[in-house]
């Protein structure tokens, strides 16, 4: 069965302070957020009816908006309350929440100082980002030709829509080659992340995980959670610059993200990895953490 398109679904969306019918939650074609990417968003997971680390996501959303020169017309407390309200209205028990902020259609030019700031929250039931059977074996990553821009060129530490253009290009190109996702480099040629998830590598003999320094891409909330879990498990965590040439020195690899959760990687280019016990242990502990809600 084909999935229902997102504009054809039923229920309510929280839109500028009101519950609006799903199909009526629209914006004008000349909205600034569409034409000039003045839009920020969050991705949040619902486990057992509760949103994992809701306030951290809300704080990041507010920060992202401020970095883009937009002031959300709601407090963190009001945003949290609205997120909880919409998952209750939609009766989402295990799913996804998408708060989104954008500039409206009052002005259509590069400058849009007087445009209204809009805010909406949608939610839906959603399982694994990758097929569960594929996830057990580990996903395969292409190596993208697109690099993360230098940090002095973009607001790299935000979840802003414009930053995902090269991610979409990279993932589409990977899928055409029958890969599941793509590995992206930073502007200096170091390993950065996948198209929408952070990346870790394991050295089980030395009880270590290695991950790139988040200095040109988003320091994910799941990424930080996994680092905390690893430290609790007495696993050494090294955040550092990692070169492509080092890939064959690692025995395992995995992605982390709100959508991806903990996803093992079996291959990057022509380098193979095992789904080692360390990854399974981190995944198990992450699952226990998120299901405390």
Beta-sheet pairing, 191-194 with 261-268? unpaired
CATH architecture of the domain 6-125 equals 2-Layer Sandwich (3.30)
195 — phi, psi (to 5°)? -70, -25
Q: Whose CA is closest to 89, among 7, 3, 20?
A: 20
First to last CA, the chain: 32
Give the per-residue pLDDT at 1: 65
Q: What pLDDT, on the 0 to 100 scale, is given for residue 128?
A: 77
Residue span(s) of the chain under CATH 3.30.470.10 come to 6-125
d(CA 41, CA 268): 29
- CATH 3.40.50.1100 assigned to 132-290: no
**Length of the chain in residues, anyone?**
293
Spans in the chain with pLDDT lower than 70:
1, 293
Beta-bridge partners for 211: 239
Show the tokens assigned to 27. Answer: 């914006």
Residue in 159, 203, 243, 280 annotated catalytic = 159
User: pLDDT value at position 129?
Assistant: 77
Is 282 in contact with 225 (CB distance < 8 Å)?
Answer: no
Residue 159 among the catalytic residues: yes
Domain with CATH 3.20.10.10 in the chain: 132-290
Gap between the Cα atoms of 63 and 79, Å rounded: 13
The per-residue pLDDT for 256 is 98
d(C-alpha 61, C-alpha 98), whole Å: 11
Closest CA to 46 of 89, 6, 78: 89
pLDDT, tens only, 225-257:
999 999 999 999 999 999 999 999 999 999 999
């Amino acid at each position: 069965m084909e999935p229902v398109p997102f504009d054809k679904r039923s229920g309510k969306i929280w839109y500028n302070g009101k519950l609006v019918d799903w199909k009526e939650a629209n914006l004008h074609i000349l909205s600034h957020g569409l034409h000039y990417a003045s839009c920020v968003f969050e991705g949040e997971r619902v486990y057992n009816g509760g949103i994992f680390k809701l306030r951290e996501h809300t704080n990041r959303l507010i920060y992202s908006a401020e970095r883009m020169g937009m002031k959300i017309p709601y407090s963190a407390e009001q945003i949290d309350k609205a997120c909880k309200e919409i998952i209750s209205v939609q009766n989402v028990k295990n799913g996804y929440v998408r708060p989104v902020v954008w500039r409206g259609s009052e002005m259509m030019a590069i400058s849009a100082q007087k445009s209204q700031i809009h805010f909406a929250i949608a939610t839906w039931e959603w399982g694994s980002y990758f097929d569960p059977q594929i996830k057990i074996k580990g996903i395969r990553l292409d190596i993208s030709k697109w690099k993360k821009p230098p940090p002095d060129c973009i607001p790299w530490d935000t979840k802003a829509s414009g930053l995902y253009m090269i991610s979409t290009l990279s993932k589409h190109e990977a899928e055409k080659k029958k890969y599941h996702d793509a590995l992206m480099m930073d502007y200096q040629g170091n390993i950065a992340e996948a198209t929408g998830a952070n990346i870790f590598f394991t050295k089980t003999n030395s009880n270590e995980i290695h991950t790139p320094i988040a200095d040109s891409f988003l320091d994910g909330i799941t990424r930080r959670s996994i680092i905390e879990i690893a430290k609790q498990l007495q696993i050494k965590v090294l955040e550092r610059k990692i070169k492509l040439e080092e890939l064959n020195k690692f025995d395992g690899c995995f992605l982390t993200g709100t959508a991806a959760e903990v996803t093992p990687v079996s291959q990057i280019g022509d380098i193979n990895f095992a789904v080692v016990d360390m990854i399974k242990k981190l995944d198990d502990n992450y699952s226990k953490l998120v299901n405390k809600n």
